[in-house]
Chain A
């Protein structure tokens, strides 16, 4: 089916590039959902209801992918024929591995000390690192340095996971 074969940039009528105008992304996503959402097809035929659900599902997927830096970079690499292989390729430069270990230790320490503010601080630090990587990605995509971009995505992926873990620990501490 032609419609569902469009890539996410095409579906949301945005140029297929790393830099995305987030305001425009929001606007286009809303315009698209305003037309295709299942709420617009409640009294339509079964065919149209099904199609509406599929396209609206894809619009959500596209929006989430393009909104998130890591996911957008990963997707753009895929469109260029490059898989980031985060599951299998875990080789990382030594300094990044060190940093990760430090973060893990800091999480454990803060967890034992029940120190939520230390965790919040750690999140700020990690977010700064993510921003640096994201700026690097801009350059890497502009220069079509896809292997380097791949490595940045893998690093960002680690950072996303660590952030999620920190949030989980904070939640546990707050619930205790």
Chain B
């Protein structure tokens, strides 16, 4: 008979109980949610048995929002209010979108910020539209798993820059989804593939999705997935192939500029034809336009190859660059894994086979592999698997730099640096008594500021007045494991920490997010406070759980007094969290955080020792 586990009063019962964690592939064309159950990663289905959720959001007349198949089927009848491929607009300004003429939405140019779309439901940011997709997947997961989610791993194209990553994280926040990690899509695919096939060696992940292209080169070794280099094009995907077919239909049938409904109809036809031609040699395109005009033309597979040849070639340049950055030759590649629905096209498979001089691996469902990998990583991050040492070491896809004199960019963190990564840069003042300076952070590989992506402008204030050139302001750029940048600044001689005011060039400001949260939660002030209290309580519960787990594991690193003092603080927080005082909960959280700083340092030190346990340290001349 199993022994009953009885927890101490006030302690959470089973600390090792299975946490509910999900992996989400938030795709341009389709999105999926997956989870690990009984050691198997599987995609969760909706009530109709569909795993794929079309990434389409429709704002209906009655104020409701349809997501997925229902929205997709209304695309032609209601093109302005039915948004597809919204991922292409995440963290982007209107000028970044190459061709808006065939996109049936009414864009709102916000000047400096992210582009917005006018819909029947109001003016929507791509972040809010993406949030609707996440909400649908979250609900699906909660229903299927029957409980509150610990969190999610959400995948992003490896080549997404800081603004696009931040936008994705903001979307999750809008629906109250805890992001355990933003994971690069090719890396997620590598996890699913590598674990399935017990692979070792150097693998290329070629990921051509609906709207983005990534190529990553990884070294797989004993559960460690080390990304050596990544490259790509965050505006190249299956959509572009559809568009080539669409343009060909227009010119072939001699059609005048079309209205939005007809544009949508023919784009949908184009996609269907593209998919059909992956298995067949020719396709008949038949459609009656709203003008009554009949389109009836034939497209052969050969013609399709010809129409899209330049797109296929466009994927090979980033591939070459990634190989060079990794310092590898084609002969050293053990396998090429194909990911993304667009890799079903035979001309893609052929081009990749010719380039790498080997047949690409296509034994995993290219639509699902990213979500499956994300679920595996979510399961690990939530703490459900402690016995094996799956570890992902990913890289920053694009260099980070600073604007210097003459509109030039000085590189601070090079592309393909392993995350997390930090660099410090010293600055000085230009004028006597100068107390502020502004710093412009850019991302990209080009030399001119105007050719790189502006991430943010920082203003450092509160520099102590000194003569010109005397101040030493050390600015540290830290990129975390999600690939997101944070900046801190300190004046070296006085130790003054300068205030940093961040003006994100593309992302949403904190105010905008709060406004969106308000509007999505019914706007009432009471709701807002209830929500803040709820967030504080969740924070407190998480911290108590984390500290109790740390005490159980490493309590021996503390003296009896130290341990008693931390336990007292835990109890204090425990007592406070049951009250309804948000501020006192936050204070008690801070107090406990402060009281455990040394403990955290000792535990980290012990972790480092653990890494080399069993080795003869004397021999290593430590």
Instruction: Provide the residues of chain B in CB contact with A64, threshold 8 Å.
Output: 417-418
Within 8 Å of chain A (Cβ to Cβ): is B244? no
* CB-CB under 8 A for A174 and B546, given A35-B608, A37-B393: no
Query: A2 contacts B605, CB within 8 Å?
Result: yes
The residue that A60 contacts in the complex, of B324, B420, B480, B615, with Cβ under 8 A, is B420
Instruction: Provide the residues of chain B in CB contact with A11, threshold 8 Å.
Output: 608
Query: B389 contacts A34, CB within 8 Å?
Result: yes
Within 8 Å of chain B (Cβ to Cβ): is A79? no
Instruction: Provide the residues of chain B in CB contact with A16, threshold 8 Å.
Output: 621
Within 8 Å of chain B (Cβ to Cβ): is A42? yes
Query: B324 contacts A36, CB within 8 Å?
Result: no
* CB-CB under 8 A for A39 and B612, given A34-B389, A51-B600: no
Task: Looking at the assembled complex, report how far the CB atom of A99 sits from the nearest CB atom of chain B, in whole angstroms.
Answer: 24
Instruction: Provide the residues of chain B in CB contact with A30, threshold 8 Å.
Output: 221-222, 224, 226, 391
Query: B317 contacts A36, CB within 8 Å?
Result: no
Instruction: Provide the residues of chain B in CB contact with A43, threshold 8 Å.
Output: 150, 381-383, 542, 545-546
Query: B550 contacts A44, CB within 8 Å?
Result: yes
Task: Looking at the assembled complex, report how far the CB atom of B180 sits from the nearest CB atom of chain A, in whole angstroms.
Answer: 5
Task: Looking at the assembled complex, report how far the CB atom of B594 sits from the nearest CB atom of chain A, in whole angstroms.
Answer: 9
Instruction: Provide the residues of chain B in CB contact with A33, threshold 8 Å.
Output: 224, 391, 393
Query: A39 contacts B421, CB within 8 Å?
Result: no
Instruction: Provide the residues of chain B in CB contact with A132, threshold 8 Å.
Output: none
Tell me how many residues of A have a C-beta within 8 Å of chain B: 43
* CB-CB under 8 A for A47 and B381, given A3-B608, A33-B391, A167-B324: no
Within 8 Å of chain A (Cβ to Cβ): is B597? yes
Within 8 Å of chain B (Cβ to Cβ): is A1? yes
Within 8 Å of chain B (Cβ to Cβ): is A10? yes
Cα A150 to Cα B392 with chains together (Å): 37
Cα A23 to Cα B380 with chains together (Å): 27
Query: A53 contacts B481, CB within 8 Å?
Result: yes
8 A Cβ contacts from A46-72 to B: 46-48, 51-53, 55-57, 60-61, 63-64
Task: Looking at the assembled complex, report how far the CB atom of A87 sits from the nearest CB atom of chain B, in whole angstroms.
Answer: 13
Within 8 Å of chain B (Cβ to Cβ): is A97? no
Q: Mark B173-213, 1 if CB is under 8 A from A, else 0.
A: 00000001100000000000000000000000000000000
Within 8 Å of chain B (Cβ to Cβ): is A175? yes
Within 8 Å of chain B (Cβ to Cβ): is A114? no
Task: Looking at the assembled complex, report how far the CB atom of B403 sits from the nearest CB atom of chain A, in whole angstroms.
Answer: 21
* CB-CB under 8 A for A51 and B604, given A35-B610, A57-B420, A57-B421: yes
Instruction: Provide the residues of chain B in CB contact with A61, threshold 8 Å.
Output: 421-422
Residue of A nearest to B590 (CB): A46
Task: Looking at the assembled complex, report how far the CB atom of A108 sits from the nearest CB atom of chain B, in whole angstroms.
Answer: 19
Q: Mark B596-615, 1 if CB is under 8 A from A, else 0.
A: 11001101110110111001
Query: B382 contacts A28, CB within 8 Å?
Result: no
Task: Looking at the assembled complex, report how far the CB atom of B581 sits from the nearest CB atom of chain A, in whole angstroms.
Answer: 21
Query: B542 contacts A34, CB within 8 Å?
Result: no
Query: A39 contacts B380, CB within 8 Å?
Result: yes
Q: Mark B367-400, 1 if CB is under 8 A from A, else 0.
A: 0000000000100111100000101110000000
Within 8 Å of chain B (Cβ to Cβ): is A131? no
Instruction: Provide the residues of chain B in CB contact with A14, threshold 8 Å.
Output: 620
Query: A13 contacts B612, CB within 8 Å?
Result: yes
Cα A53 to Cα B484 with chains together (Å): 12
Query: A60 contacts B421, CB within 8 Å?
Result: yes
Instruction: Provide the residues of chain B in CB contact with A44, threshold 8 Å.
Output: 546, 550
The residue that B600 contacts in the complex, of A31, A47, A174, with Cβ under 8 A, is A47
Within 8 Å of chain A (Cβ to Cβ): is B321? yes
The residue that B546 contacts in the complex, of A34, A40, A45, A53, with Cβ under 8 A, is A45
Query: B620 contacts A31, CB within 8 Å?
Result: no
Interface residues of A (CB under 8 A from B): 1-3, 10-11, 13-16, 28, 30-40, 42-48, 51-53, 55-57, 60-61, 63-64, 167, 170-171, 174-175
Give 7 nearest A-B pairs by CB, closest first: A47-B600, A35-B607, A31-B611, A38-B481, A42-B381, A35-B611, A45-B546
